[in-house]
Amino acid sequence: MALRKLDELITIAKSKTTKRMAIAAAADAHVLGAVKDAVEAGIVSPILVGDESKINSILADLKMDTSKLEIINEPNDVKACQKAVALIREGNAEVLMKGQVATAVILKAVLDKENGLRTGSTLSHFALFESPYYHKLFGMTDAAMNVAPEFADKVSIVKNAVAAMQGIGVEIPKVAILGPVEVVNPKIESTVHAAMLTMMNIRKQIKGCIIDGPFALDNTISKEACTQKGIESEVGGDADILVAPELNAANVLYKSLNFLGGATSAAIIMGAKVPIVLTSRADTERAKLLSIAFAAAMN
């Protein structure tokens, strides 16, 4: 199933059981504005963990009905993250969201060996894009978490991305491994890693997807570019997932798509026991809502 609009995430989330979402350090006006929209859409039931007086003040400004909201008073950010994570671990919530707290603080709680949400996989950032220049939604990873991933990390990053796409109904996503060229060059590590990931997929060591690479970016989104370069690939020109070689390339691509390419996006963190909504302060309220919908739409 190919999705074309990010709004379809809201439709998918509505079709599933309303997810309970724990928001750590929830006293953030932009986050709570998006949470309000998500509640009104019927896709999440929030548990707000943080400074109760500040949360109530923001909710009053938002004119949000608080009669059915659960608030856990914890002014300390570190403890608020720990309590939000505990709600997930104990089965009282299915989605985690970062509020007004440093990313490092919430991730420390998530990665705690005894009380966190580890699965054995590498955590990775996965963004879903709607672009006016592409025929369907596509994902891109990893623009925020892994700086210079080793090959084993890239295997986890690919598996996380595939799980994210499968969670919203793309059963066999097509995965393009990016590099500066579309041929294997032993001097360019990203192209070697691409060939290794492709071979692992052929040998069914990475399942549930079709992997090919290395690809230069144009070959992943344009069949015409593939034809001109003599590339025959099921993935070329029809990729569902773009895997960047490292964070520098991914972050530049991510922001170029949003700020120059007219794209809109939704993003989550994969690899923990549940999807994590970890948005940027620069993200719009709409982007935050779509990110919540993305997490809520997951199986």
pLDDT for 237:
96
d(CA 199, CA 88): 36
Stretch 81-86: mean pLDDT: 97
Counting residues of the chain whose pLDDT is more than 70, the rounded percentage is: 99
d(CA 82, CA 79): 5
The H or E element containing residue 201 is helix 189-202
Q: For 1-21, what is each residue's pLDDT tens digit?
A: 679 999 999 999 999 999 999
Whole-number Cα distances in Å, 256 to 96, 109, 141, 261: 27, 31, 14, 6
* Structure confidence at residue 89 as a pLDDT band (50, 70, 90): very high
Identity of the amino acid at 251: N
Q: What is the mean pLDDT of the chain?
A: 94
pTM exceeds 0.85 for this model = yes
* Structure confidence at residue 285 as a pLDDT band (50, 70, 90): confident
Segments making up each domain of the chain, as ranges: 7-118+272-297, 124-264
pLDDT for 180:
95
* Structure confidence at residue 286 as a pLDDT band (50, 70, 90): confident
* Structure confidence at residue 294 as a pLDDT band (50, 70, 90): very high
CATH number of 7-118+272-297: 3.40.50.10950
40-44, 153-157, 166-170, 282-286: least confidently modelled range: 282-286
Q: For 115-127, what is each residue's pLDDT tens digit?
A: 999 998 899 999 9
d(CA 146, CA 257): 20
* Structure confidence at residue 189 as a pLDDT band (50, 70, 90): very high
d(CA 207, CA 213): 16
* Structure confidence at residue 42 as a pLDDT band (50, 70, 90): very high
Task: Report the CATH fold assignment for 124-264.
Answer: Isopropylmalate Dehydrogenase (3.40.718)
Q: Which residues contact 198 (CB under 8 A, 6 or more apart)?
A: 177, 211, 212, 213
d(CA 171, CA 299): 12
- The tokens of 127 are what? 């963004």
pLDDT for 166:
96
Q: Write the DSSP assignment of 212-276 as a string of letters.
A: EEEE-HHHHH-HHHHHHTT---SSTT--SEEE-SSHHHHHHHHHHHHHTS--EEEEEEESSSS-E
d(CA 117, CA 269): 12
Cβ atoms of 55 and 64 within 8 Å: the answer is no
Cβ atoms of 60 and 52 within 8 Å: the answer is no
Q: For 137-188, what is each residue's pLDDT tens digit?
A: 999 999 999 999 999 999 999 999 999 999 999 999 999 999 999 999 999 9
